[in-house]
């Protein structure tokens, strides 16, 4: 098929939920994507933070293929080696006690919401179910996680009624104090609000929230769906803040290109979700877990993470010297660029014409390159991006 044929059959058969750019990718290697005419692009998006080892990483593809030839699925009624191995590796790598595996970021957050509510119910009884989230946050598209998302624009009347039990506040400790009531069981936040505009939380604010939460036995849930698995130069972004949350959620990069979600919790919460309280048909799928184990074995190494930090810093320095760049935000290889005379979407469209693929985050340009992108790929991509931003 050529691009026009793909576009035509897609538009005539798929629900029009996505505003797609005029591009279809046929394949790729590392950070280089190729379209159906053979044109190459430097991909600074990793499929929105998913392909953290780039396209067609040999080790990841082998791990997935071997598992596909051995056992593709069995169900959670039985034990399964790649699934057991991944939960063990995840808890060891992160210092959490238990993990639940699902298929997406939203599902990881759904598990976190249920876990927080049940912990509170078991300990305090009915009525302590509210979860505080921050304005400009993004936590997913299921009804609960959409409601948890602190963006009015994503809560149109057509989807009402929304579930109860979510309260929003600004990134200000007094606002958090004001939002807490005798109904509060948890506060959920991203360390860097990704979809909300690449907005890192202030360290003092995060530490004050955690101290307050501890005092009131309110659980701290950190949504690391976008920031986790090395994206910010540490395995988990909250390590940069010196905190230890009760629950952390992961997805995107953990799968390296296959759908996964993980909800991890401390020992105190480890036995809250007993048999029958939660589940997922595909959660912990052996093929997905084999790929995720491979990703974790690569990313969770001091040299790899140091490299992410250095490459992120290098990109930031180069971009800040571009004409028309107003400001740069983010951490590691999660980069938000505010451009003087263009919207993020103008830059993305022109970037595609110029052979570089970027993302937007609100009005910003957002970059989430593969974590193992080479220096040559960075330089070529930035050269192309510079031409677009400076035009
Ligand atoms: C911070 C955060 N949480 C949750 C989600 C939802 O993840 P998914 O699309 O895998 O359900 C996203 C997706 O962008 C995200 O960035």
Q: Are 258 and 290 in contact (CB under 8 A)?
A: no
The residue whose CA is least distant from atom 4 of ligand 1 is 139
- pLDDT given at position 301: 98
Give the nearest ligand 1 atom to 107 CA.
11
CA of 46 to the centre of ligand 1 (A): 14
Confidence label for 335 from pLDDT (cuts 50, 70 and 90): very high
Give the nearest ligand 1 atom to 227 CA.
1
Q: How far apart, in whole angstroms, are the C-alpha atoms of residue 135 and residue 127?
A: 24
Phi, psi of 281 (to 5 degrees): -55, -50
- Which of 51, 106, 109, 136 to mutate to test ligand 1, by most ligand atoms within 8 A of the CB atom? 106
Q: List alpha helices for 95-226, DSSP H.
A: 105-124, 143-148, 173-179, 203-216
Angle between helices 302-320 and 375-390 (to 10 degrees): 20
Place of tokens 């979510």: 166
Q: Are 251 and 105 in contact (CB under 8 A)?
A: yes
Give the nearest ligand 1 atom to 259 CA.
10
- pLDDT given at position 338: 97
CA of 222 to the centre of ligand 1 (A): 12
CA of 233 to the centre of ligand 1 (A): 19
Average pLDDT over residues 312-339: 98
Place of tokens 């009760």: 246
CA of 323 to the centre of ligand 1 (A): 32
CA of 242 to the centre of ligand 1 (A): 23
CA of 226 to the centre of ligand 1 (A): 7
Average pLDDT over residues 229-253: 98
CA of 1 to the centre of ligand 1 (A): 31
Domain 59-299 indexed as CATH 3.40.50.1820 = no
Mean pLDDT of the chain: 98
Give the nearest ligand 1 atom to 194 CA.
16
Cβ < 6 Å from ligand 1: which residues? Answer: 104-106, 109, 138-140, 190, 194-195, 223, 225-226, 251
Per-residue pLDDT of 40-92, as tens digits, reads: 999 999 999 999 999 999 999 999 999 999 999 999 999 999 999 999 999 99
- pLDDT given at position 272: 98
The residue ranges of DSSP E strands in 158-293, in sequence order, are 166-169, 184-189, 192-193, 199-200, 219-223, 247-250, 261-265
In this structure, the number of other CB atoms found within 10 A of the CB of residue 68 comes to: 14
- Domain positions in the chain are 59-299, 302-364
Confidence label for 369 from pLDDT (cuts 50, 70 and 90): very high
Confidence label for 299 from pLDDT (cuts 50, 70 and 90): very high
- pLDDT given at position 250: 98
- pLDDT given at position 123: 98
Helix (H) or strand (E) holding 41: strand 40-43
Per-residue pLDDT of 27-40, as tens digits, reads: 999 999 999 999 99
Confidence label for 372 from pLDDT (cuts 50, 70 and 90): very high
Give the nearest ligand 1 atom to 48 CA.
14
Beta bridge partners of 33: 28, 41
- pLDDT given at position 195: 98
């Amino acid at each position: 098929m050529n691009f026009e044929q793909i576009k035509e059959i897609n538009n005539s058969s798929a629900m029009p939920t996505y505003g797609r750019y005029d591009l279809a990718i046929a394949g790729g290697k590392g950070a280089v994507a190729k379209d159906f005419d053979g044109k190459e692009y430097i991909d600074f998006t990793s499929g929105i933070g998913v392909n953290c080892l780039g396209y067609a990483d040999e080790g990841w593809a082998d791990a997935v293929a071997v598992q596909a030839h051995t056992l593709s699925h069995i169900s959670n009624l039985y034990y399964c080696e790649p699934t057991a191995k991944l939960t063990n590796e995840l808890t060891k790598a992160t210092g959490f006690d238990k993990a639940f595996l699902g298929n997406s970021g939203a599902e990881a957050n759904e598990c976190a919401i249920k876990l927080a509510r049940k912990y509170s119910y078991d300990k305090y009884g009915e009525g302590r179910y509210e979860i505080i989230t921050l304005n400009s946050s993004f936590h997913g598209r299921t009804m609960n996680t959409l409601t948890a998302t602190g963006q009015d624009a994503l809560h149109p009347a057509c989807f009402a009624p929304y579930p109860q039990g979510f309260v929003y506040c600004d990134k200000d400790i007094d606002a958090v104090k004001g939002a807490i009531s005798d109904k509060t069981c948890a506060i959920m936040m991203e360390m860097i609000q990704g979809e909300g505009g690449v907005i890192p939380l202030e360290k003092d604010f995060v530490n004050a929230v955690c101290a307050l939460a501890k005092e009131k036995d309110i659980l701290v849930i950190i949504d690391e769906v976008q920031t986790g698995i090395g994206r910010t130069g540490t395995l988990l972004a909250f390590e940069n803040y010196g905190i230890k949350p009760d629950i952390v959620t992961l997805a995107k990069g953990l799968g390296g290109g296959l759908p996964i979600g993980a909800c991890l919790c401390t020992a105190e919460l480890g036995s809250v979700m007993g048999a029958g309280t939660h589940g997922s048909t595909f959660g912990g799928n052996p093929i997905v877990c084999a790929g995720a184990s491979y990703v974790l074995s690569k990313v969770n190494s001091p040299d790899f993470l140091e490299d992410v930090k250095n490459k992120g810093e290098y990109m930031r320095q180069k971009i800040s010297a571009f004409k028309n760049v107003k400001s740069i935000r983010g951490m590691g290889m999660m980069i938000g660029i505010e451009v003087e005379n263009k919207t993020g979407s103008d830059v993305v469209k022109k970037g595609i014409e110029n052979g570089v693929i970027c993302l937007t985050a609100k009005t910003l340009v957002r970059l989430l390159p593969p974590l193992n992108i080479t220096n040559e790929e960075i330089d070529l991509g930035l050269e192309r991006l510079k031409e677009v931003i400076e035009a």
